[in-house]
Structure 1
Amino acid sequence: MGPVPRPLPATAPPRHRGGRGRVKEWWIMQFDEITVGTVAVGVDGSTSSDHALTWAVEEATATGRALTLVHAVAPYAAVAPEAAQYAKIALEAAEAGGQAVLTAARSVAHGKAPDLEVRELLRVADSRDTLIEVARHAHLLVLGSRGRGPVRSLLLGSVGIAVTRHAECPVVVVRPTRHGIVRLGVLVGVDGTERSRDPLELACREASQRGLPLTVVHAQLLPHGRHDEEEGLLLLGETVGGLREKYPDVPIHSELTAGYPGERLVEMAERMDLVVVGSHHGGVASEVLLGSVASFVVEHASCPVAVVPTVPRTRG
C-alpha cells in the first residue's frame, strides 16, 4: 500500500463575503501525505487525544499498518483588508502550535512502538472536512471523545459525531473508561440484515487481534411473546453462522435482549473493551434507525466505540 501524495499550495486565494466591508478568509492547507490503508488518529494535545493515540498505536502495530497523525485548526478571518497581516501572523502561530502537537504525538507513538511508521498531516481548515477526507483513504480513523488541548481545535468532541455519520471508513471514538472493572471483550449489535456484515467482520477481527471474546447481541424493540423470541434466536443463529469457522480463536456468545438497541448496548458496554455498531449513510429511514443508535452509543458508552459504515466505499 503506497502513499498518495496530496500537494497543495502554501496559501489558498482569499475568499470574500458581502456586508460592511469585505471579510477576507485566510487558510493554509499543508499535507505530508495521506497513506492509503493507514490507521489515522486525530490529535490535539488533550487527555482524550492521548487515549485515542494509544488505541491507534496499538491498532497500527497489531495490523502492521502505518500511523497517520492528524491535526486541524480553524482558519482565522480578518474583518478588513488592512488586518490581513495580523490574520497571517495568527495563522503562522496556529500552524506552529499544530506542528508542536504533531511532534509531541510522534514522540509518544515511537515511545510505544519504536519501529512504527508514523506520518503527519497538518491542516488549517474545517476539522470535519479534514477528518472526512482522511477517512476516504484510511483503513480506520480514531478520535478522542472530546478535545480540550493547549491548541484551540475542533478536531474532537462533537465533531466526532458528525464524522461518524459521513466517514467512509470505520471510526473508533475512544470514550472515557472506568478503571477497576473486569471487562468481557468485544460487543457488536446486529439487526439480522446485510447491514450487519461489516460491523460483525470488524468486531471479529478486533476480538481476534486482541485475544478477546465476542458477544453478538440483537435487541428487539417491541417483542411480542414466544414467537418473536424464537425468530430472534433464529436470526442470531444465522448471523453468527460461519464466524466460528472463520475465527476459531474467538469465543463467540450470542444474546437476544428486549429494549431500545442504543440503551441496551450502552448498558452492556459498561463491562466491555469495545462496542461495534453500524451506521448507514443512506436514506432518511435508515439514518433515523441506525444513525440514531450509533450516535447514542458514541455519546454515552463507557468504553471505546467503533462505528462502521454499511455502504460501499468510493475510494481507498
Structure 2
Amino acid sequence: MNTTSTPAGSIVVGVDGSAYAEAALIWAVDQAALENRPLTLVHAVEPIGFMASGTYAGGGIDYGALLDQTRTAARQVLHAAKAHALEAQPGLEVHELLSYADARTALLDLSHHAAMIVLGSRGRGPVASLLLGSVSVSVAKHAACPVVVRRPTDPSLTTHGILVGVDGTELSLPAIDFAYRMASFRGRPLVVLHCYWQAGERDLVAESIAGMAEKFPDVPVEVRLADGFADQHLVAASQNYELVVVGHHPITPLNDLVFGSVAPTVLEHAHGAVAVVPSQV
C-alpha cells in the first residue's frame, strides 16, 4: 500500500503540488517544528482506477510505462514537498509516504496514529471544481485525530488568534483543549465562542473551560456569548482569525445530522483555516 512507515504521533500533511496543498504544507511544517514532532508527507495515487477510467483507453498504450510515469511524478511531488519543508525548517524530521490507495482511505488509516492531519481545501483532479474537496470533507468527518483544513490566505488581512466554538457539553472538551494548545504553541490569544438558545445555557461555557487557565497560563482568553446558530457566527468571524476550531461527535445517524449542520458549513464557508476535532481523541 505504501513505500515507507509513518512514525506515531507525527503531523501528516497531504501533498499534490497544488496551491491549496502548498498552503497546508507551510502550516504543517511550522506546526511540526513548534511541537517538535515528525512530519509525514502523503501523496496518494490509484493506478488501477486511473487506468480503468478510460482516460487512456485505446490500442497501443503501454500501461506499464504509464504506471512508471505516474509513480515517478508522485515521487517528484513528495521530493519537492520535502525539499520545501527542510528549507523552511532544516532540522525537521520529514518522512515521505507514497500510498497506492484512495486518498480518503489512506488518510483515515493514518489518523489512528497521527497527532493531526493537515489538508488543503481543494486538490488537483475532479474535486478541484468543488468549493471544498471531497477528500477534505470525508477525512474531517471520519478521522480519529484532529484535521486542519487550510486555504491560501490573503497576506493583507490581519488575524487575531484562535477561535473555538463550544456547546457547553463534555463533547466540546477535546476541541477546547486543542484550541488552547494551538494558541499556546503559536503564541496567540484565544476566543471561546458559545452560542446558546436559552438564557440558562450561558453559564455552561465557564464550566467547559474550568481549569484551562492553570493548564495554559500563557494563553490570553476571551469568552464571547451569542444567541443563534453557531455555524453562522463562526463563519462570519472566521476572517478575523488564523484558525477556527470546531468539534464533532462520533458518527451515528443522529450525530451525522449534527455534523451536517455545523462542521461542514464552517469548513465550506470559512475564510481561513478550520480545525475539526473529534470528541473522542
Normalization by structure 1: what TM-score? Answer: 0.81
1:165 to 125, 138, 141: 141
Query: Structure 2 CA distance, aligned partners of 1:195 and 1:203?
Result: 14
Deviates more, 1:252-261 or 1:289-298: 289-298
Query: Structure 2 CA distance, aligned partners of 1:244 and 1:83?
Result: 68
1:256 to 208, 211, 225: 225
- State how many pairs are aligned: 272
Verify the 8 A CA contact 1:175 1:301 in the aligned structure 2. no
Unpaired stretches in structure 2, ≥5 consecutive residues? none
Larger Rg over CA atoms: 1
2:51 to 54, 57, 77: 77
Verify the 8 A CA contact 2:170 2:208 in the aligned structure 1. no
Verify the 8 A CA contact 1:95 1:124 in the aligned structure 2. no
Provide the alpha-carbon RMSD of the alignment: 2.0
Q: Which has the higher helix share?
A: 2
Alignment of 1:64-143 (within 5 A): 64-75=36-47, 76-78=50-52, 86-143=62-119
Letter in 2 for 1:243: M
Q: Tell me what 1:9 maps to.
A: none
Verify the 8 A CA contact 1:232 1:256 in the aligned structure 2. no
Q: Does residue 235 of the first structure (1) align with residue 204 of the second (2)?
A: yes
Verify the 8 A CA contact 1:274 1:303 in the aligned structure 2. yes
Please report how far the alpha carbon of residue 154 of structure 1 lies from its aligned counterpart in structure 2 after TM superposition: 6.3
Q: Tell me what 1:217 maps to.
A: 193
Pair 154,267 (structure 1): closer, same or farther in 2 beyond 3 Å: closer
Letter in 2 for 1:77: M
Query: Structure 1 CA distance, aligned partners of 2:60 and 2:150?
Result: 39
CA deviation vs aligned residue, 1:83-138 (integer Å, no higher than 9, x gap) = 79733322221111000000000000000000001000001221111111111211
Query: Structure 2 CA distance, aligned partners of 1:281 and 1:205?
Result: 22
Pair 153,88 (structure 1): closer, same or farther in 2 beyond 3 Å: farther
Deviates more, 1:100-109 or 1:288-297: 288-297
CA deviation vs aligned residue, 1:55-79 (integer Å, no higher than 9, x gap) = 0001100001000000012323358
Letter in 1 for 2:168: G
3-state DSSP of counterpart to 1:187: strand
Verify the 8 A CA contact 1:41 1:141 in the aligned structure 2. yes
3-state DSSP of counterpart to 1:305: strand
Taking CA–CA contacts closer than 8 Å with sequence separation of 6 or more, which of the two structures ends up with the larger relative contact order?
2
Verify the 8 A CA contact 2:160 2:188 in the aligned structure 1. yes
Q: Tell me what 1:174 maps to.
A: 150
3-state DSSP of counterpart to 1:218: strand
Letter in 2 for 1:73: V
Q: Tell me what 2:259 maps to.
A: 290
Deviates more, 1:205-214 or 1:235-244: 235-244
Deviates more, 1:202-211 or 1:170-179: 170-179
Please report how far the alpha carbon of residue 170 of structure 1 lies from its aligned counterpart in structure 2 after TM superposition: 0.5
Normalization by structure 2: what TM-score? Answer: 0.91
Q: Does residue 204 of the first structure (1) align with residue 180 of the second (2)?
A: yes
CA deviation vs aligned residue, 1:249-275 (integer Å, no higher than 9, x gap) = 111111111221111101111100100
Verify the 8 A CA contact 1:72 1:153 in the aligned structure 2. no
Unpaired stretches in structure 1, ≥5 consecutive residues? 1-28
